[in-house]
Structure 1
Amino acid sequence: MSRVQGPSSLKRKRPELNSPVQSLTEHERILYDVIRSKQDIGIWTRDMKKEAKLPDNVVNKSLKALRVKNLIKEVVNIQNKGRKHFMATEFEPSKEISGGAWYLEGSLDTEFIESLRQLCKRQIEKKGVATLEEVTDLINSYPAFNVDVTKQQIEEILRTLILDNAIMEVKSNGMGEFASIPFGKVCYRYISKAALGGEPKAGALASIPCGVCPRISHCTPDGIISPKTCVYYQKWLDF
């Protein structure tokens, strides 16, 4: 996998000499200024036309010219995939538009998520017990996984593994297997298959998963993320 993750905050490109901006027509300049002013949020074509106050045929012609000059790009808005959404090429879509690190070109990147889940699980299994920082460092140093991930991303992945009963969240007591981890530090322990045959472990599906879901703020009854499509919620119902 070669997908590279990074912060979804604004990414500004260095201005180039002899920029095509200098050769814009009056209408192209008006439209470009409207689109560029929206920064990493971008703008829907209908809103663009209202704000630019230009006829449809002029807008369409100007959009085509701006795309040819590589000054704007069409992006997928996960909230409204059917709408044409444009953004200046110097910006990267915000999380509200792109869906964040777990989305690729407007779709949930399940392959990336599952690869990261399996790698995190293997790293914790090897160590027995590991902190969030240790897992993050191990993932970022893994030669076969050419992706730069953040602690927040890894924490979200670890929470899904907790819900799947693959690992459990514990606190270090500073002794034994926790000797290298400061007392009271939150860490994660691998749950072996043999252990699953006994009493349910802390961190398993013992409470409603919504309480620890990192996407709860985006969850709506009929949205892209919803109780109807949530596999963890269904597992909790069947537990």
Structure 2
Amino acid sequence: YCDQDFEAEFVDVLNQQCYRYLQQRKEKTIPVAAKSGPLVAQTMAYATSKDVWKFITELGISKVQLSEDDIRTILDTLLYDGKVERILNVTGEYLYQAMESYLPPPGIVRMPCGICPVMRNCSEIGAVNPTKCTYLSEWLS
């Protein structure tokens, strides 16, 4: 948010950059798969939210200090979009990997409300509301 306005463009950029990082990480494992096998390559393709946070921080695309929780929220939207998969490792930490979608996403996911990162804050009378929602307006037009 910037002065109570949701920064949709900034969130889109964060989504794209997080996904790009995960894609690049996966692409780097292709030569490893040829040498060590697909399981080793798949394991190496996973990244923690801290790995992604470090990448985003080093890019310097944010004027505000982003937390690892902020990045985890972005990664969750990518998960709901079907662009990444998430697993839990033995230490209880989530790992993320870019994936190709083979099936179209279900209807609720294609509707902006189904993947909105601020859905909890949305109400008819609040600053975030369906009447002023740019996601919903773009989707309907």
Alignment of 1:84-99 (within 5 A): none
Q: In the comparison of the two structures, how many residue pairs are matched?
A: 117
Amino acid corresponding to residue 189 of structure 1 in structure 2: Q
Return the structure number with greater relative CO, CA threshold 8 A, min gap 6: 2
For residues 97 and 48 of structure 2, the distance between their equivalents in structure 1, rounded to whole angstroms, comes to 9
Instruction: Write out per-residue CA displacement over residues 98-141 of structure 1, whole angstroms, 9 at most, x where no aligned residue.
Output: xxxxx223322223222212111111111132111111111112
Selected match of 1:118 from 6, 10, 16: 16
**Residue aligning to 1:189:** 97
In structure 1, the gaps of 5 or more residues are: 1-102, 173-180
Larger proportion of helix: 2
CA drift at 1:164: 2.5
CA contact under 8 A between 2:53 and 2:71: conserved in structure 1? Answer: yes
With normalisation by structure 1, the TM-score equals: 0.38
Amino acid corresponding to residue 10 of structure 2 in structure 1: F
**Residue aligning to 1:225:** 128
CA drift at 1:152: 1.4
**Residue aligning to 2:50:** 133
**Residue aligning to 1:152:** 69
With normalisation by structure 2, the TM-score equals: 0.59
Please state whether the residue corresponding to 2:95 is helix, strand or coil: strand
For residues 62 and 130 of structure 2, the distance between their equivalents in structure 1, rounded to whole angstroms, comes to 33
Structure 1 residues 110, 214: CA separation in 2 closer, same or farther (over 3 Å shift)?
closer
Amino acid corresponding to residue 224 of structure 1 in structure 2: A
**Residue aligning to 1:97:** none
In structure 2, the gaps of 5 or more residues are: 27-45
Amino acid corresponding to residue 47 of structure 2 in structure 1: A
Amino acid corresponding to residue 97 of structure 2 in structure 1: R
Structure 1 residues 159, 170: CA separation in 2 closer, same or farther (over 3 Å shift)?
closer
For residues 110 and 227 of structure 1, the distance between their equivalents in structure 2, rounded to whole angstroms, comes to 14
Structure 1 runs, 4 residues or longer, greater than 6 Å off: none
**Residue aligning to 2:40:** none
CA contact under 8 A between 1:168 and 1:191: conserved in structure 2? Answer: yes
Identity of aligned residues (%): 23
Amino acid corresponding to residue 122 of structure 1 in structure 2: R
Please state whether the residue corresponding to 2:53 is helix, strand or coil: helix
